[in-house]
Structure formats: structure tokens, C-alpha cells
Amino acid sequence: EVQLVESGGTLVQTGRSLRVSCTASGFPFGDYGVSWVRQAPGKGLEWVSFIRSKAYGGTTEYAASVKGRFTISRDDSKSAAYLQMDSLRIDDTAVYFCTRVRTVGGTPTIVDFWGQGTLVTVSS
Amino acid sequence: EIVMTQSPATLSVSPGERATLSCRASQNINNRLAWYQQRPGQAPRLLIYGASTRATGIPARFSGSGSGADFTLTITSLQSEDFAVYYCQQYNNWPFLTFGGGTKMEIK
């Protein structure tokens, strides 16, 4: 059974840093891309970041709203992905979902599984 | 950025009836369109990809259609567990995934 479990969400002050983690099981983690998607309270879904599998360079992408502040990474030996969030702002408050991304020849396609999410609350 | 627009924002339907949800992209997305269901307090679940292909384990009462920039999710014979929020998402413009604002399906 495919599982993605996020952790690390908490209450943090504006300007501080936080790292959230995602641990995967039930599939060959290294063969897939990983994206983080967030959902502010009562709002819709916003794509945040993506990392390719090592076979395709492990390269990363970011939404404009977080570029330069957030860093996505992965450790395939632990079947884990991370999102390092620096210079946090009030509007970063959201549930952060870790998602599995199918790729075809290195090109990401479908987001097919989601974790349950971890809540990050940024307060002044 | 490709903007995804869903309508209606809220849909009131009786159990057993049929529901039709719409999603429009701001440009042609080559059928790279997915639909997700999100129940309260839960993660989104993939229902449909490629505009019309059901994901593994998704009941046949869910169907997707459309092409180009206009898409529809149809749910026939609504069950109690189908009352949720539905999102469409384009994946034609990776890595810049964009989602629609969602349609909340509520019991009439």
C-alpha cells in the first residue's frame, strides 16, 4: 500500500525557519518525483515545489511565491523528502501535503498519491 | 500561468441523483487534466487523469470528459460518501501545476 506520511508541522514565528518531512513506503521511492502542495485554512490547493528522481538529476522547481525561501530535497536511502522553509511569512500558514508524482522519461505527469498533510502555522 | 476555473462553486444534489461539474482552462492543456476528491479533514484523492481515465479503485459512477480547455466530471447516482470538494488540476505546464478553486458538493 502506498503511504506518504508528513511530519514536522508546528507553530512558528514570522521570519523563522522550519523543516517538514515526508516518509514514503509501499513503492520504489527513488523512481518517483515528489511535490509539495499546500492548502491555506479554508482555501484551495497551491503547488509549492517539485523534485525529480535522481535518475533525472534530482533537479528542483519552485512556485514564485516561495522561490528563494524554500528548499526541497530528498534522501532516497530513507525514502524521505523534505521541505526546508526559511523566512516564513504569515501567508505561508497552510497544511503542507507531500505528493507522489509519476514521471515519463523524466517529465512529470500525474500527482497520484497524497499524504495526510502537516499543519504549519506562522504567527507574529 | 494557466488559470483553472471551476463551476459552480457549490452544487446541491440529492443522493441518487447525477452531478455535473465543470472545469475550464485559460488555454489548451492537451487533455492533461486531473480531478481530485477531498473529503473534510482528508487528503485529496486522485479520481481521473488524462481528462477521462479513472484512477485505480475509482468506481465507474465517476467519469471525466472534455478536451482542449473545457472539461466535465460527472458523478452518477450520488452516494453519501461522494459529498466532498472536487478540484481539477492541469499538468500540461509542469512544473507549474495549477488547480481550480474547487466545487463543493453538498446534500440537497
Question: Cβ neighbours of residue B106 under 8 Å, at least 6 residues apart?
Answer: B10, B11, B12, B13, B83
- Chain A within 8 Å of B86 (Cβ-Cβ)? no
Tell me the CB-side half-sphere exposure of residue A116, using CA atoms within 13 A. 8
Which of B33, B87, B94, B98 to mutate against chain A (most A CBs within 10 Å)? B94
For chain B, percent of residues with pLDDT exceeding 90: 89
Cβ-based contacts under 8 A for chains A and B: 55
Dist. CA A61–CA A50, nearest whole Å: 5
- Mean pLDDT over A19-24 rounds to 98
- Chain A within 8 Å of B24 (Cβ-Cβ)? no
> pLDDT by residue (tens digit) across A72-124?
999 999 999 999 999 999 999 999 999 999 988 778 889 999 999 999 999 99
Per-residue pLDDT at A58 exceeds 90: yes
- Chain B within 8 Å of A33 (Cβ-Cβ)? no
Are residues B21 and B12 in contact, defined by beta-carbon separation less than 8 angstroms? no
> What residues of chain B lie within 8 A of the CB of A46, using their CB?
99
Q: Give residue for cell 452544487.
A: B11
Q: How many residues belong to chain A? A: 124
Dist. CA A104–CA A32, nearest whole Å: 10
Dist. CA A89–CA A123, nearest whole Å: 8
